Amino acid sequence: MLVHVVDSGMGNVGSLVSMMHRIGVEAVAARSGSDLAGARRVVLPGVGSFDRGVAGLRTKGLWEALDGLARAGCPVLGICLGMQLMAQGSDEGVQAGFGWLPVRVERMRPGPESSGFRLPHMGWAPVRVERAGVLFEPGAADQRFYFAHSFAIAADDDDPAAVATAEHGRRFVAAFERGNLMGVQFHPEKSHRFGRRLLERFVLGADRA
């Protein structure tokens, strides 16, 4: 199985390719739309602002290629900003996202009983597994992942796509699955054994989505 890791200049591409190699999976960086031709697994990482993320993908011809693959059923895993770009848009910018998710990314804000709330939300934090799927096995205990973000998708108890949640001020979506489309707000490439296991499950189990 070959995994294509999208390289728009705004993600930890080298770390992701290295982790894929450590779990025994071949991975290559995709820097143009043509690099994604025939892709069977795609990872879309990203750090930075929403509008710059959109511009980076469009400038390199990656936007149209990704949209076509996603709508054709290719498994795509968005990471951090990459996950946010799957939404309709973000409070952080004015550009439209891919619109694969019928939600909008919001700026994080404190809850009614929050103390010590700061942005960005950075560092290790517990993640609550709400339901099993491709990314998390049945009976998975709550896990810890590394976060670095100031915007997120608000958690909705009625949303079956939200497979894991976390809390910083208010509860937000830490991971989602919607058919062949998946996303995580945290950085699995920085999350040691928890991140490695999640990437293994994406690579090996995405065809079951």
Residue 62 clears pLDDT 90, i.e. is over it? yes
Residue 26, burial from CB neighbour count under 10 angstroms (0-12, 13-18, 19+)? exposed
Q: Which of 56, 60, 50, 57 is nearest to 149 (CA)?
A: 50
Contact 187, 198 (CB under 8 A): no
Q: How many CB atoms lie within 10 A of CB 158?
A: 5
pLDDT value at residue 82: 98
Mean pLDDT for 67-85 is 98
Ordered strands of the 151-152 beta sheet = 89-90, 104-107, 151-152
Contact 61, 33 (CB under 8 A): yes
Angle at 94 between CA 89 and CA 99, to 5 degrees: 25
> What's the whole-model pTM score?
0.95
- Phi then psi for residue 16, to 5 deg, are -70, -45
> Does the active-site annotation cover 4?
no
Structural domain harbouring 202:
2-208
* Number of domain units in the chain: 1
- Phi then psi for residue 45, to 5 deg, are -85, 170
d(CA 3, CA 113): 43
Mean pLDDT for 63-83 is 98
* pLDDT > 90: percent of the chain: 87
The pLDDT tens digits of the residues spanning 120-165 come to 999 999 999 999 999 999 888 879 999 999 999 999 888 889 999 9
> Does the active-site annotation cover 26?
no
Mean pLDDT for 39-58 is 97
Residue 202 clears pLDDT 70, i.e. is over it? yes
Residue 1: band (very low, low, confident or very high) from pLDDT cuts 50, 70, 90? confident
> Does the active-site annotation cover 189?
yes
* pLDDT > 70: percent of the chain: 98
The pLDDT tens digits of the residues spanning 19-39 come to 999 999 999 999 999 999 999
Mean pLDDT for 50-78 is 97
Higher pLDDT, 134 or 207: 134
pLDDT value at residue 115: 73
Q: Which helix (H) or strand (E) holds 199?
A: helix 192-205
pLDDT value at residue 207: 67
CATH code, domain with 55: 3.40.50.880
Which of 4, 80, 121, 130 does the annotation list as catalytic? 80
Half-sphere exposure of 165 (CA within 13 A, CB side): 18
d(CA 31, CA 52): 16
pLDDT value at residue 17: 96
